[in-house]
Structure 1
């Protein structure tokens, strides 16, 4: 079903105007299914002769994923080309599990209905996936992680069987993004590195890789992000976060802001990075106050002071990240009601806090305090 998958990470292809030629070569003489975001299909995959499913990126719920899985298993392909943003790539990766032995797809869906984090049994991918991103920052094209939206929230599924075989980054597929969207993606990639850098006991190589990539992300995204070369570089840097030692460490859950932002985004129905923009400075204030439940103060300060000066940001991490969010124009959500804060806090404790290692020792009251201390728009 799938070609030999010896590589630890997907093969990365990148460059101007390479997507069509590279994809054509990779799918030649193979039973192919194209899964494409309907908003980009006419522009990106209009002349593909392969069987095609067009999906709405804003409706990638568990129901939509199950529908995709039914189409995949009805006529199993030997390669799937996934074209779209992170939600489309994630959905395709999960749906492809229907071709895995041992009813892995059913296991993933069922487990995600009960748990915020699902680890899949270790197995090679059941089908080759060629991931062609049309947004940047998520790194879904190069990672072994997917987000599934169900009635409980955004659930995290992790496993080697989700890893694409190839990733194709072409700035032509990123040209319709607004500058604001590009910087949101850059911030997502940057905070992936920063979050990992709040963990203690990092290797010297991991620290070096994180600082080098983070500095390059800051410098590039602070420049002319309308330029195709800049978009290509940012997309490559985002992919590189998964292909270096930057995210490797003894604490796999060190990006603790992610778990709170996940619940904020679901309850308030806002984009993940908008939710992150609201809470990140408040999280870092807790790290820098010396609360080890949120991260290691020394590690965060070392990381931040190594990169902030490149773009003239304040050297105090909470002040500096707030300044970056403001400089890049990431809009905060409207201030949630007291009821919404209680709902988010309870959901965060239930899914990630208390006895779970992601936010161990943190409870609903801690998250209420965090959200009251976060940065919100007051509206009119």
Structure 2
């Protein structure tokens, strides 16, 4: 999640269609292209097309299929393999893209590894502004939602969960968007990708009480478009049909666009408090990130609706929800707390999370340790605040058992 508006590198150039990569390659100095492919797409049409573009541009290709989990160790190992690369193209989901960006930067600036390896409880790692990659980086996303292909951020897996790494040097040079790259993406993950962009964008808008007329207008327009696409995708899934190329490409475009400075310039960079809770909940229970986010969002919005300004702004929550309901068909409840639950159910986003009280308490404490208690990410939120949201987000299994045992 890159919402810290880092600057220093020019914005990522977006190329629509893999074929457009061929012309770009002819203007690059390197003669060898290092192609990093996620194992799931190593033999895909996407990789074949990129290889053909390289041949057309008279570039040789070295293929690497990283199998590391995106930890410091796997990033360091990949950085060693990339030390002599002239140009890097990464094809895969957010984890592969994040690992590539971190490895390329680490191979060029050893100080990056030192910063990543440094101890400390904070889940946020800020890289030196002067650290820059030595070679161009091209990203070709095969999933949607994270927007890693256009962002200056990356997630790094570790023993205490994922850390958020931000730095100017993580900004890719080129992002290639092509519907062929997402043709094998399951419809369920495509829907979660739509929700991920919605979750991140809405969180930034509601979490900062300041009115920013231009950025607010852009954000509400983006959320309305996401709402329309989410409803369209849900209808496609219910009909049993697959999402077409045009729909997948539009979702992919919004995934990257949401990281643009036009949406978050001037905002509190840590406004999306739900991201930090969802990150720890998904890690603590071994869940997909968007399952955790979907469980967290209704109780978090309830805290806002009740007037707890540490979580966000009531007027902005209602303004956002009016924009969403105006764009969604079928109609949604007017109350944002009831409405967000209905939207998640309509979009077929799973949010049934189960954990006992002890596990939930441990997750609440890990959340505060990594992101709060004096750190700017959770600000003034306390353990009790975090615990209250998580207690409502998860279901305790023994309580359901007790209810089942009650006499008729």
Task: Mark yes or no: TM-score above 0.5.
Answer: yes
Map 1:299-318; keep pairs closer than 5 Å: 299-311=316-328, 312-318=331-337
- Match of 2:150, SS? coil
1:197 aligns with 2:214: no
Ranges in structure 2 where 5+ consecutive residues have no aligned partner: 1-6, 52-59, 237-242, 402-408
1:109 aligns with 2:123: no
1:148 deviation in Å?
Answer: 0.2
The answer to whether the Cα contact below 8 Å between 1:19 and 1:169 also exists between their aligned partners in 2 is no
State the partner residue of 1:68. 78
State the partner residue of 2:183. 175
State the partner residue of 2:13. 11
Q: TM-score, normalised by structure 1?
A: 0.91
Aligned length: 371
Per-residue CA shift, 1:14-33, capped at 9, x if unaligned? 24x53764675576853321
Q: Which of the numbers 130, 133, 156 marks the counterpart of 2:164? A: 156
Q: Which of the numbers 363, 368, 371 marks the counterpart of 1:344? A: 363
State the partner residue of 1:372. 391
Q: TM-score, normalised by structure 2?
A: 0.85
How far, CA to CA, are the matches of 2:355 and 2:20 in structure 1? 42
1:362 deviation in Å?
Answer: 1.9
1:204 deviation in Å?
Answer: 0.6
1:359 deviation in Å?
Answer: 1.1
Ranges in structure 1 where 5+ consecutive residues have no aligned partner: none
- Match of 1:33, SS? strand
- Match of 2:175, SS? strand
Per-residue CA shift, 1:18-77, capped at 9, x if unaligned? 3764675576853321111011010032573511221237x222222121112112xx21
1:296 aligns with 2:313: yes
The answer to whether the Cα contact below 8 Å between 1:125 and 1:160 also exists between their aligned partners in 2 is no
How far, CA to CA, are the matches of 2:319 and 2:165 in structure 1? 31
Map 1:208-357; keep pairs closer than 5 Å: 208-224=217-233, 226-311=243-328, 312-357=331-376
- Match of 1:210, SS? helix
Map 1:353-364; keep pairs closer than 5 Å: 353-364=372-383
1:149 deviation in Å?
Answer: 0.3
State the partner residue of 1:134. 142
1:154 deviation in Å?
Answer: 0.5
How far, CA to CA, are the matches of 1:356 and 1:29 in structure 2? 43
State the partner residue of 2:173. 165
The answer to whether the Cα contact below 8 Å between 2:357 and 2:396 also exists between their aligned partners in 1 is no
1:115 deviation in Å?
Answer: 2.8
The answer to whether the Cα contact below 8 Å between 1:14 and 1:168 also exists between their aligned partners in 2 is yes
- Pair 180,209 (structure 1): closer, same or farther in 2 beyond 3 Å: same
- Match of 1:146, SS? strand
- Pair 316,119 (structure 1): closer, same or farther in 2 beyond 3 Å: same
How far, CA to CA, are the matches of 1:195 and 1:362 in structure 2? 16
How far, CA to CA, are the matches of 1:125 and 1:71 in structure 2? 15
How far, CA to CA, are the matches of 2:340 and 2:172 in structure 1? 32
How far, CA to CA, are the matches of 1:149 and 1:138 in structure 2? 15
- Pair 181,377 (structure 1): closer, same or farther in 2 beyond 3 Å: farther
Structure exhibiting the larger radius of gyration computed from Cα positions: 2
The answer to whether the Cα contact below 8 Å between 2:353 and 2:394 also exists between their aligned partners in 1 is no
Question: Where does structure 1 differ by over 4 angstroms across 4 or more consecutive aligned residues?
Answer: 19-29, 375-380
The answer to whether the Cα contact below 8 Å between 2:122 and 2:371 also exists between their aligned partners in 1 is no
- Pair 41,282 (structure 1): closer, same or farther in 2 beyond 3 Å: same
